[in-house]
């Protein structure tokens, strides 16, 4: 009750008029329910608020639609994006009887953390996610039986220099990384985003322009535990989109919105600890990694094909995973090598020793993506999967430009969402351990993804008109 009392105090102290309950659906889309404070009491905060689950994609059918949102008091923050004082809380999705709903992504994340504690291997997993995004000044798209097109534009893109007055300061092709003003035209926008992220409780550590030519950005926030990091990833996307909108722009986390430019990644830094000790650190190991860390890597890479159906869950995801644009295409691990699926960043202390899984992108549901990685890594530890013996490296060369790359006999990431989904069908037992994921949830994910695949397969593409119209 102490946490509930804290919420009631925040309501009184800040003159709150509305509660806004936020939750994620199976695909990672954010939804919300607003409740006037006049009808809120301690009992409701503890028990939750009813909503219609049949209208949420991937949730319950119409015959069993009653569901409950129970807000987590620990997530309470004042929402800076609505008129009138509003308290935002992230909620867990429950079934009637206050039983956790098996398809609730946040519930999956919570169960993964409990499974870790029950395993005895570690008591805490630590996560730092690096989420990239584009901000465009003009976005238009349409899909109908008779037409299909998209158009995106950015004031700072090099292709605008010939059509705007005084257009000399532009981001050249693939040369946006860490550029200073006046080339970086979105510094002030990222600072505005940073201020709102801070208001939502995120500890922002830095922000900068990314590599791509037109409005690609990154804002980094401090690492935390699994569920908390996933909560913050949802708020991150919420804040970025709303600040962009307030400035007359549009932000997207789509993995590959621009042809021949770098795409948006969600690099996942992770480690395990027990009793405050980093289990991934060994001063005598490869890149200062312990045997536990290597087994964890072995699990991640062994299950990577299936995992990508969760961490890279859109057809567009696989347009990012191509050579030449700083996205990993090979299932290997390496010391400080950004061309590998798993990179071991340079560490300044035992406490910060970690691994970085570079394949995921921000179209993923962060709750499911982080939980899936943890389950794969723990399976590697449990089975003692040696990543070197399994053919995953280490590969300490630039894979993209290695003259004998063909001789390395590297394993590749799936080239399409269909391949990843097929892999998930064949390899998901590791996700079911401890009841973290359920068979029902996995089948639901597969069905939703195959529906998307079928739609793309049956719809004519503009590039097909260019290639085949006069055939």
Q: What residues act catalytically?
A: 52, 130, 132, 210, 218, 267, 338, 356, 358
What's the DSSP call for residue 345? Answer: -
* 3-state secondary structure (DSSP) of residue 353: coil
Tell me if 78 sits within 8 A of 13, measured CB to CB.
no
In angstroms, the CA 224 to CA 229 distance is: 5
| 284-286-292-297 Cα dihedral, nearest 10 degrees | 170
Residue owning tokens 């992770």? 270
Q: Which of 274, 273, 277, 254 is nearest to 264 (CA)?
A: 254
In angstroms, the CA 351 to CA 428 distance is: 32
Tally the C-alpha atoms within 13 A of residue 93's C-alpha that lie toward its C-beta.
Answer: 29
In angstroms, the CA 399 to CA 323 distance is: 9
Report CA-CA distances (Å) from 216 to 136, 141, 189, 193, 431. Answer: 9, 19, 12, 14, 33
The secondary element (H helix, E strand) that includes residue 152 is: strand 147-153
Pair type for strands 224-225 and 124-136:
antiparallel
* 3-state secondary structure (DSSP) of residue 97: coil
- Helices 366-383 and 105-119 sit at what angle, rounded to 10 degrees? 20
Q: Which of 257, 290, 470 is nearest to 380 (CA)?
A: 290
In angstroms, the CA 468 to CA 141 distance is: 22
* 3-state secondary structure (DSSP) of residue 171: strand
In angstroms, the CA 342 to CA 322 distance is: 16
In this structure, what token pair is assigned to residue 33?
């329910």
Report CA-CA distances (Å) from 115 to 99, 118, 120, 184, 185. Answer: 18, 5, 9, 44, 45
């Amino acid at each position: 009750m102490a946490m509930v009392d804290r919420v009631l105090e925040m309501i009184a102290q800040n003159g709150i008029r509305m509660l806004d309950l936020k939750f994620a659906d199976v695909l990672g889309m954010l939804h919300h329910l607003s409740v006037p404070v006049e009808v809120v009491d301690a009992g409701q905060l503890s028990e939750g608020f009813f909503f219609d689950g049949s209208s949420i994609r991937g949730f319950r059918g119409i015959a069993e639609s009653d569901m409950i949102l129970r807000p987590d008091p620990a997530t309470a923050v004042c929402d800076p994006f609505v008129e009138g004082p509003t308290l935002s809380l992230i909620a867990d999705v429950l079934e009637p009887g206050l039983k956790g709903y098996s398809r609730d992504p946040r519930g999956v994340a919570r169960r993964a953390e409990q499974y870790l504690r029950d395993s005895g291997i570690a008591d805490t997993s630590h996560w730092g996610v690096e989420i990239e995004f584009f901000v465009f000044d003009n976005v238009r798209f349409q899909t109908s039986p008779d037409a299909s097109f998209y158009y995106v534009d950015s004031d700072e893109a090099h292709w605008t220099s010939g059509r705007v007055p005084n257009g000399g300061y532009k981001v050249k092709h693939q040369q946006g990384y860490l550029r200073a003003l006046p080339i970086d035209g979105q510094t002030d926008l990222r600072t505005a985003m940073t201020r709102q992220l801070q208001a939502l409780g995120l500890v922002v550590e830095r922000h900068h322009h990314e590599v791509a030519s037109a409005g690609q950005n990154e804002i980094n926030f401090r690492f935390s535990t699994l569920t908390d990091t996933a909560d913050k990833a949802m708020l991150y996307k919420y804040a970025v989109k709303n600040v962009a909108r307030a400035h007359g722009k549009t932000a997207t986390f789509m993995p590959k919105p621009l042809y021949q430019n770098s795409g948006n990644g969600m690099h996942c830094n992770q480690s395990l600890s027990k009793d405050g000790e980093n289990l991934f650190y060994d001063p005598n190991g490869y890149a200062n990694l312990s045997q536990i860390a290597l087994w964890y890597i072995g699990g991640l890479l062994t299950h990577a094909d299936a995992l990508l159906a969760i961490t890279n869950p859109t057809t567009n995801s696989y347009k990012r995973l191509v050579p030449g644009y700083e996205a990993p295409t090979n299932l290997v691990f390496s010391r400080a090598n950004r061309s590998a699926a798993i990179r071991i960043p340079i560490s300044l202390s035992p406490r910060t020793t970690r691994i970085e899984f570079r394949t995921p992108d921000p179209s993923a549901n962060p709750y499911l993506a982080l939980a899936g990685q943890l389950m794969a890594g723990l399976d590697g530890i449990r089975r003692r999967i040696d990543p070197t013996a399994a053919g995953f490296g280490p590969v300490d060369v630039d894979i993209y430009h290695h003259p004998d790359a063909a001789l390395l006999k590297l394993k590749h990431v799936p080239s399409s969402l269909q391949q990843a989904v097929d892999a998930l069908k064949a390899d998901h037992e590791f996700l079911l351990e401890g009841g973290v994921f359920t068979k029902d949830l996995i089948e639901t994910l597969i069905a939703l993804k195959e529906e998307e695949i079928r739609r793309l397969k049956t719809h004519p593409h503009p590039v097909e008109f260019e290639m085949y119209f006069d055939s």
